[in-house]
Structure 1
Amino acid sequence: MTEFGKSLTITETPIPGLLVAELPVHGDARGWFKENWQREKMLAAGLPDFGPVQNNISFNDAAGTTRGIHAEPWDKWVSVATGRIFGAWVDLREGPTFGTVFTTELDPSRAIFVPRGVGNSYQTLEPDTAYTYLVNDHWSADAEYSFLNLADETAAIAWPIPLADVEISAKDLAHPRLADVTPIPPKKTLVIGANGQLGRALRDAFGDSPEFEYAGRAEIDLADPSFVDSRRWRDYATIVNAAAYTAVDLAETPEGRADAWAANVTGVAALARVATEHGITLVHVSSDYVFDGTKDGAYTEDDAVRPLGVYGQTKAAGDAVVATVPRHYIIRTSWVIGEGKNFVRTMASLADRGIDPAVVDDQTGRLTFTTDIAGAVRHLLRERSPYGIYNVSSAGDPLTWAALAQRVFAATGHDPERVSGVSTDAYFASAAGPVAPRPANSVLSLDKITAAGFTPSSMLESLAAYLG
C-alpha cells in the first residue's frame, strides 16, 4: 500500500550524491495524486538542479522482473507510478566509494536521485509495476557506460526473490564481476586558452590528471563558431575560459574591432549557451577595462560597468552574457603578469640593456600574477563558492605603472631613478596608430574573494619572487 500524507524530505545514503526522497501522495476513494517532479520544491528540499531532458517508463507485467545493474553517464530521477520495487544501487565511479551498495524499496511515495556513474537496478515486487525515470541527457552510442553482474559476490545484494526464480535478460546475466568493471571517470574540466599566460598557470594549478583537458587556440578558437560541435559537452563539469582577444590598441581599428567582438562576445555567447544547455559551470576571466577608472576608491563587484574603449566594451558585453549562465564565475583582474611577454619582463629587459624608460604615472592599480588567478579559480571550484563575480588581483598598496617600473629596476640591481614618469597623453602622443583609452583607476576591491576564503599573494613579494 502506498503511504499517504508524507512530508517532502530528502535523505542521504552511503553512496555520495545518491539521495532518497519521501514524496507527498494525496489519496481518496478515487485514487491518488502526487507531484513526481516539482523543481522549485525539490531544490529547496535539497535535490540538485539536474535539468532533465527526457522521461522514460518501464512497464513490468510480473512480480520478480529484474533489470541489470547499469551505470550511465547522466543523472536519473527514479520513481514508481504503480506497483512496488526493490532497488539496488552500486557506486561504479572512480574513487574511494567504488563498489558501495545501497538498497531500498520504492513505491509511489518514495523516489531516488541517482547521480551519474552509480549503477541502477531493480526487482519488481508486484505485478503491473510502472518504473519511471527522468534523465538529463539523451542516449548516445559514444557515451561511456559501465555494468555489474547482478549476482556479484562482492556487492552481495540481498535480492528478495532469488535470481534463479526471476525473469532476467541473458545480457544482464553476462555482465562482469566488480573486479572486472570499468569505473566511470569523473566529469572533466576544460581549460580554453591553455597556452597563454593564464592557461599555463592553470595547467600548473590543476595538474595532468585525465580529469583536466587543456585546449589551445588550435583546438578551440572562440572566433570560430564550429567549436560548439567539437565535444560531447555532457562529459564536462566545468569550462574555464582563459582565452580572449587582448590587443587593446589594435581593437580600435576596423579589423581589430571585428576580431575583438568575435572572440570576446560572439564566442563567449556560444560558450554560455553550451554551459547553460548542459549544466556546466563556466569560469570566465574579465578585466578592469570594463570600468572607466573615474571612481574614487577601489572598484567592487557591484559597481556599474562603463568601458571606455572597444576592448573594454567587448569584455563588458561578454560578462553580461556569462552572467546569464546559471552556474558561473566571472573573475575580474587587472595588469596580468605570468609566463611570457609582459610589463615586468619588458622593464627588466630595459634595465639590463641600459635603457632609461619613461613610464605612465597617472594610472594606478595592482599587478595580478597568474598564480593568484589560477589559485582563486581552483579555490572557488573546490569550495563550491556562491556563483557570481569575484575581483582577483595580487594584494598590497596600489601603485602607478612608473612606480612599479622603479620596483623592477631596484629588484634587478639597477637604479630606480632611471625610470621617469610621464602622463598617458604624453606617452601616446607620438603613437603611429590608434590608442585605446585606459582607465586611470584600476584598483579592484579584494573583500569578496578574501571573504570566500582565498587570500591573494602580496604583489611586491610575488614581484620579487618572479624576478628572482
Structure 2
Amino acid sequence: MAELKIEKTAIPGLLIIDLDVRGDNRGWFKENWQRQKMIDLGLPDFGPVQNNVSFNATRGVTRGFHAEPWDKLISVAAGRIFGAWVDLREGPTFGTVVTVEHGPERAVFVPSGVGNAFQVLEGGTAYSYLVNDHWSPAAKDSYTFVNLADPTLAVAWPIPLSEGELSEADRNHPALAEVRPVPAKRTLIIGAGGQLGRALQALLPDAIALTRAECDLADPEALEKIDWRSVGAVINAAAYTAVDAAETEEGRRQAWQVNVHAVGRLVEKAREHRLPLVHVSSDYVFDGTRELHDEDEPFAPLGVYGQTKAAGDALVQSWPRHYLLRTSWVVGDGKNFIATMASLADRGIAPSVIDDQHGRLTFAVDLAKAAVDLLAGGKPYGTYNVSCDGPVRTWADLAAAVFVARGRSADDVTRVSTEEYGQDKNLAPRPRHSALDLTKAKAAGLTLPDGDQALADYLAALEVDGGS
C-alpha cells in the first residue's frame, strides 16, 4: 500500500501521481482518480468528460508523440509501460522530455499541448485516458505531433523502435525542428475599450482584447464567435454602468441584458472550457447602511444598476473558478470625476459637490493589476474587495483636494447633501457608505495604494499630459 502523492516534473503542469494501490491474494484495487484528494494535493480540477482505453496486445507496441487540445489523466489498468512526454507548447520548455516507467501504481497528468507517448513492456497492457473534452474528427485537426525517433529528443526507448510495433503515421511524424509550437493560451479581455480594459491591455499586451464593437455583450450571439480553445482565462471588464439611465424603461432592459443575461452566458462558457473568470463588481450591490463592507455582506441594492450587478455576481459565484473583484469609485483615463473636477478648477468654476456619500477611489491601473496578480499568483478563488487604502473621503473631500492641487481654494467647492444636489434631477439612489473592507485583499498580497497619494500621482500625470 502506497501513499497518494503528486510530484512536479521538468515540464510545467506535467504531474506524476503515485497511487494508493491495495492488493491481496485476489489481485489489487486502487482509486485511479479521486477528485477531492488529488485536488488537495495540487492536481488541477480539470473536469473530465470522456474516458478512453487503449489495449495493446503485444510487448513493444509504441504510440505517440501526440499533443491533443485537452488535458488528460493517463494511467495503466493492466500491464506496464515506458511513458515519455515532450513539451510542444511555445515557451522556454519547448522540447523538454520527461520519461517514467510505470504500471498500475502510477498515473500522469498531461496538460494540453504536451505530447504523450508510451511503449508497452508487457503484452496485454491496457492504457487509460481520462480527458476533459469530447473527441471529434474536427478536434484531430488541432493535434500536434513529433517523431518518436527524433535524435534531438533522445528518448532511451527500452525496446528499440526498429523492433517495436508502430503505426505508419507514428513512424512518419515530423522532427522537433519542423514542429510548429502549440500557441500559449491567452487571457481574453472583454470590454477592452473601457478605462479598465485599457489598463488591462497595458499589463497584458498579448491578451485577446475585444472592445464593445468586437464583442457586444448585449448581443446574445457575441460569445459564440470567440475561439475558446485559444483562451486560458477571461477578464470581464464590460458592464452597463449608466446608473441613472438604468432607472428608465430602456436603460433597465439594457442593464439586465449586459449585467445579468450576458454574464450568465459568460459563466457558462467559462464552465464549459474550465476557464478562470475575473469579473468586476460594485459597491452598489449594498445599500450603504454599513460604514464598511466586507466580502460576505448580503446584497441589498438600492437601484436597478445595483440590482443587476448583484444578480450578475450571484451567477459568477456559481462557477468555482472565479475571482470577483468588488470595487468603488473607479477612476481611469478619459472622462471621470477627478478629471472633471480638475477641469472645473482650471476654468475657474466653483461646483457644488455631495458631502454625505463616503468611500474610497479605485484607480483603474490598480484594479487591473489586482486582476492580473490574482490570475498569475494562484490565489484562492472567491470575492476580493479592491480599492485604494487609507482614509475614507466624501466626494466633496476629493473635489476640494483636486482644487487645492490645481492652485484653487478648497472653499471654492460648495458642500451639499445628496438631497440638495438631486433636487430637480432624475438621479438613481446611491449608497451613502461605499468604503470596502480590504483585509482579505491585503492578506492575499494585493497592492492597494494609499488613496491620497494615488490621487496626487494621478493629478500629477494630468499635469504632465496637459490637463484634463
**Residue from 36, 39, 50 that aligns with 1:54:** 50
Q: Which runs of 5+ in 1 are unaligned?
A: none
Among candidates 97, 100, 117, match of residue 96 of structure 2: 100
Amino acid corresponding to residue 352 of structure 2 in structure 1: A
- Higher mean C-alpha deviation, range 6-15 or range 413-422: 6-15
Mean CA deviation greater in 372-381 or 458-467:
458-467
Q: Report the CA distance shift for 1:44/1:375 in structure 2 as closer, same or farther (over 3 A).
A: closer
Counterparts of 1:52-451 in structure 2, within 5 Å, are 52-139=48-135, 141=138, 144-206=142-204, 208-209=205-206, 212-295=207-290, 297-431=291-425, 434-451=426-443
Please tell me the residue identity of whatever aligns with 2:317: A
In the alignment, which residue of structure 2 is the partner of 1:463?
A: 455
Q: Which moved more, 1:229-238 or 1:357-366?
A: 229-238
Counterpart secondary structure, 1:457: coil
C-alpha displacement at 1:441, in angstroms? 0.7
Amino acid at match of 1:298: L
Q: What do the CA deviations read for 1:284-309 (whole angstroms, capped 9, x no partner)?
A: 101111111111x3211122221111
Please tell me whether the aligned partners of residues 85 and 115 of structure 2 are also in contact (alpha carbons under 8 angstroms).
yes
Distance in 1 (CA, whole Å) between partners of 2:134 and 2:223 is: 17
In the alignment, the residues of structure 1 paired with residue 55 and residue 226 of structure 2 have an alpha-carbon distance, to the nearest angstrom, of 34
% of aligned pairs identical? 60
Q: How many residues align?
A: 458
- Rounded to whole Å, the distance in 1 between the matches of 2:106 and 2:345 is 72
- SS of equivalent residue, structure 1 residue 225: coil
Give 1:293's aligned amino acid: G
Shift in Å at residue 354 of structure 1? 2.3
3-state SS in 1 of match to 2:308: helix
Which SS does the other structure have where 2:401 is aligned?
helix
Per-residue CA distance 1:340-367 (angstroms, 9 max, x = gap): 1111121122222222111111111111
Is the Cα–Cα contact under 8 Å of residues 328 and 361 in structure 2 kept in the other structure? yes
CA distance in 1, matches of 2:8, 2:399: 56
Structure 1, 337-346 or 20-29: larger mean CA deviation? 20-29
Q: How much does 1:14 deviate? A: 2.2
Equivalent pair of 2:215/2:223 in contact (CA under 8 Å): no
Superposed displacement of residue 187, structure 1: 1.8
Other structure's SS at 2:33 match: coil
Confirm or deny: 8 A CA contact 2:354 2:415 kept in the other structure.
Answer: yes
Q: Does 1:453 align with 2:445?
A: yes
* Equivalent AA in structure 2 for residue 161 of structure 1: I
- What CA distance in whole angstroms lies between the structure 2 residues aligned with 1:99 and 1:106? 22
Deviation of 1:28 after TM superposition, in Å, equals 4.1
Query: Cα offset for 1:38?
Result: 2.1
Contact 2:355 2:395 in 1 (8 A): yes
Stretch moving more, 59-68 or 279-288: 59-68
Q: TM-score, normalised by structure 2?
A: 0.94
1:29, CA displacement in angstroms?
4.5
Once residues 46 and 241 of structure 1 are traced to their aligned partners in structure 2, the CA distance between those partners, rounded to angstroms, is 27
- Amino acid aligned to 1:106: H
The amino acid across from 1:20 in the alignment is I
SS, match of residue 301 in structure 1? coil
User: 2:177 corresponds to which letter in structure 1?
Assistant: A
Structure 2 SS opposite 1:262: helix
User: Which residue type is aligned with residue 464 of structure 1?
Assistant: A
RMSD, matched Cα: 1.6
- Deviation digits for residues 229-272 of structure 1 (CA, Å, limit 9, x no counterpart): 22232432211011000010111111111111111111111111
Greater alpha carbon shift after TM alignment, 33-42 vs 106-115: 33-42
Contact kept? 1:73, 1:184, Cα under 8 Å? no
1:68-111 deviation digits (Å, cap 9, x = unpaired): 21112211111122222111111112222222211122212221
Tell me how far apart the structure 1 counterparts of residues 130 and 185 of structure 2 sit (CA, whole Å): 20
| Paired residue type of 1:264 | N
3-state SS of 2:296 partner? coil
Matched residues in 2 for 1:78 and 1:186: separation?
A: 22
CA drift at 1:389: 1.0
TM-score (norm 1): 0.94
Structure 1 window deviating more from structure 2 (41-50 vs 216-225): it is: 41-50
Structure 1 residues 32-41 or 242-251, which shifts more?
32-41
Q: 1:27 to 1:451 in 2, by over 3 A?
A: closer
Is the Cα–Cα contact under 8 Å of residues 222 and 267 in structure 1 kept in the other structure? yes
CA contact (8 A) 1:280 1:327 kept: yes
Amino acid in the other structure paired with 2:412: R
Task: Please give the alpha-carbon distance, in whole angstroms, between the structure 2 residues aligned to 1:24 and 1:279.
Answer: 27
In structure 2, C-alpha distance between the alignment counterparts of 1:45 and 1:449, rounded to whole Å? 25
Pick the aligned partner of 1:25 from 10, 18, 21: 21
- The 1-side partners of 2:297 and 2:10 are apart by 45
